[in-house]
Copies of this chain bind each other. A is one copy, B any other.
């Protein structure tokens, strides 16, 4: 079911600006949503979450807040995280207590991460690589299983005999729905799905992914399939990224590949993502791939493009296909007309909004 279709009421968007540059870039995403859909199209509700809230109150994500978020139509997320040197914030508290908590609670099984190399954007790749063809692919990362479950534990902690385990949990149910989503997307794109795994070593999980992939592929005879071990996939991202259309992979491999994908297509400053629950039973969450960048926070220096592109994915998820396309086009036009002149965060947001006004 399309989460917004036929609804006459004003959809509510939760806004979690977060820490560092998070609130700065999210403000521009809100600006652009208002420019393209009208000031009254959404009611925005701000949520104060992140490192600052934790330091002030000791709270990461109270159950009452999670319940409120569940009542929203979608979530715009900025970035969270204290400064890297800040030892008062134990590693993992926000990641697991906030970001992963929401992804798991709202069953965001499709973690959608498009990558595109825009014309004229500086890339770390040589022209011998970028000349091979246009780079435009999407990684469909599983978002609710694998090594991200938190399964595992520690025996004899802190001793010379400590044993620590992490358990990757993969289910036919979980793999099937995300693989099917990838094939569906491929039919609307260039018709190719690449499975990335490491089934020569991870035989249990790899066997499951392989089997389900082949079964789903049988339902899509028009879609071309490919398989790469994760190590080989990183090689191709660096040497021939044009070969990819849709990539489907597990939670951890997806995490690794999408950061590399962002790097080779001009940096995480341009990388958007959606944590999507396609059923619409819970709200989906849209966030730039970048972090809170405490080093440049408060200076309105951050590029809000990734946050704005994420808002575009939000519109698409809500069924506002034309407005989504307009946002993508406006951001593309802005990015491709950049000449290196520095602009502030709101200047970039204004310029993109103006193209939509």
**Which A residues contact B (CB, under 8 angstroms)?**
91-92, 95-96, 100, 122-129, 147-148, 150, 152-154, 156-173, 176, 198-208, 210-211, 230-232, 234-235, 237-239, 252, 255-256, 258-260, 262-264, 267-268
Contact = CB atoms under 8 A, between A and B. Distances in A.
Given A154-B207, A160-B172, A165-B168, 18 more contacts: A92-B203, A124-B238, A124-B239, A125-B126, A148-B201, A152-B202, A154-B208, A160-B176, A162-B171, A164-B204, A164-B205, A166-B167, A198-B252, A234-B260, A235-B260, A235-B262, A239-B267, A260-B260
Contacts of A259: 231-232, 234-235
Contacts of A92: 199-201, 203, 206
Contacts of A230: 255-256
Contacts of A235: 259-260, 262-263, 268
Contact of A124 (B128, B163, B200, B207): B128
Contacts of A164: 170-171, 204-205, 207-208
A93 to B, nearest CB: 9
15 contacts: A91-B199, A122-B128, A152-B204, A154-B208, A161-B173, A162-B171, A162-B172, A165-B168, A165-B169, A168-B168, A231-B256, A231-B259, A234-B259, A235-B263, A256-B256
A237 B124 CA distance: 10
Contacts of A255: 198, 201, 230-231
Contacts of A159: 172
A203 B165 contact: no
B163 A165 contact: no
A201 to B, nearest CB: 6
A261 B38 CA distance: 48
Given A152-B205, A231-B256, A256-B256, A163 B167 contact: no
A207 B237 CA distance: 30
Q: Which of A164, A238, A252 has the most CB of B within 10 A?
A: A164
Q: Which of A163, A169, A199, A232 has the most CB of B within 10 A?
A: A163
Contacts of A166: 167-168, 170, 202, 204-205
A169 B155 CA distance: 11
Contacts of A169: 163, 165
Contacts of A268: 235
Contacts of A238: 124-125, 238, 260, 263-264
Contacts of A154: 204, 207-208
Nearest to A174: B163
A150 B260 CA distance: 27
A276 to B, nearest CB: 20
A256 B239 contact: no
Nearest to A150: B203
A129 B154 CA distance: 41
A210 B152 CA distance: 17
Contacts of A205: 152, 164-166
Contacts of A171: 161-164
Nearest to A261: B234
B95 A200 contact: yes
Contacts of A232: 259
B207 A234 contact: no
